[in-house]
Amino acid sequence: MTRDLAASVRGRLLRQAKESGRPLQELLQYFAMERFLFRLSRSEHVDRFVLKGALMFRVWGTPQTRATRDIDLLARADNSVDSMTQIMRSVCEHAVAPDGVIFHGESVQGIAIKEDADYLGVRVTFLATIQNARLPMQIDIGFGDVVNPAAKTIGYPAMLDFEPAKLIGYPRETVVAEKFEAMVKLGQLNSRMKDFYDILILSRQFAFDGESLATAISATFRNRATTAKANPPAFSNEFANDPGKQIQWASFIRKSKLSVVPDALADAIREIAGFLNPIAKAIESNEPFAATWSPGSGWIKSQPPASSG
């Protein structure tokens, strides 16, 4: 790989940064994550991982994506630290056409993490460089989650004119299900403002089939041994009006430079509750949820077929 290519990549990303008003370091980080995913997509390990987390919002083209420095993956593989470290090192060293990024396989390290105190995961870190820019990479890998409906192959959007990655990605229904489960489980202790933001954005941008979403929520709650509840503490006035939670929400919005969501946490929670409470009530009552979510309109109940004769 020539120095000229790395310099060209950095220069083009610098122009994008100026045009978008985003920091150059952020765009360099996103480009490095994209090119790592491309290497993963070309490796023998591609079918063992499902992309999840904030990077899926780039796949879906949401209007304002919260910034992230991490790649989140669900693994269908041995959950040992050694196994994941070896795989990620091999991906770093996988030969592809030059794209201006160097992943330093010798820097790969792994540790065990306890995600939400329930699920064993592995965090792998290593160094990437683009010209003289040093980019710390972090891959958080989870195990054991159910994905419903089935994960499908997605195309990860390319920032420049390099070949995009094709790999398996999470469905939106499972993203909603996992974040709702965390809200119910954590209750008043919840400080994960990104979950509130993510569900709010998904409900504003995409239609959902009620039965499919209810199935995903039921499967996730069952797999994580959590009981689905309407009006959980995270949807309460006590939570929404808590000064500490309001500060956390305001700080999250400010640091993420987001302008498409309510300034008041209570307003965001009101929207989210309108999206999730009807499904939770149906699940609690063990009743089907035949409705369609329409952004801006809410849940529209499906009409039963007209009887013949």
Domain membership flag for residue 186: yes
Write down the number of H helices and E strands in the chain: 10, 10
CB 254 within 8 A of CB 305: no
Is 309 contained in some domain?
no
Q: Under DSSP, is residue 65 helix (H, G, I), strand (E, B) or coil?
A: coil
Q: Are 202 and 271 within 8 A, CB to CB?
A: no
Question: Is 61 a domain residue?
Answer: yes
Tell me: do 119 and 182 sit in the same domain. no
Predicted confidence (pLDDT) per residue in 101-120, tens digit: 999 999 999 999 986 544 57
Structural domain harbouring 206: 173-301
Residue 265: its H or E element? helix 265-284
pLDDT digits (tens, 9 = 90+) for 186-236: 998 999 999 999 999 999 999 999 999 999 999 999 999 999 989 999 999
Q: At 124, is the pLDDT very low, low, confident or very high (cuts 50, 70, 90)?
A: very high
Number of neighbouring beta carbons within 10 Å of residue 133: 18
Measured N-to-C along each axis, helices 172-186 and 265-284 cross at an angle, to the nearest 10 degrees, of: 100
Which of 51, 73, 219 is closest to 146 using CA atoms?
A: 219
Residue that wins the pLDDT comparison between 66 and 1: 66
Q: 85 in a domain, yes or no?
A: yes
Specify the pTM.
0.92
Average pLDDT, the chain: 93
* Pairing verdict, β 49-52 and 165-169: parallel
| Position 34 confidence tier, pLDDT thresholds 50, 70, 90 | very high
Instruction: Give the pLDDT mean for 162-167.
Output: 97
274 is a domain residue = yes
Residue 53 token pair: 């987390």
Q: Are strands 165-169 and 152-156 parallel, antiparallel or unpaired?
A: antiparallel
β-pair type (298-301, 165-169): unpaired
Residue 269 lies in a domain: yes
pLDDT category at 258 given cuts 50, 70, 90 is confident
In the chain, the number of structural domains is 2
Per-residue pLDDT at 245: 96
Q: Is the dihedral of CA 76, 79, 81, 83 positive or negative?
A: negative
Contact 205, 295 (CB under 8 A): yes
Position 308 pLDDT exceeds 60: no
DSSP 241: T
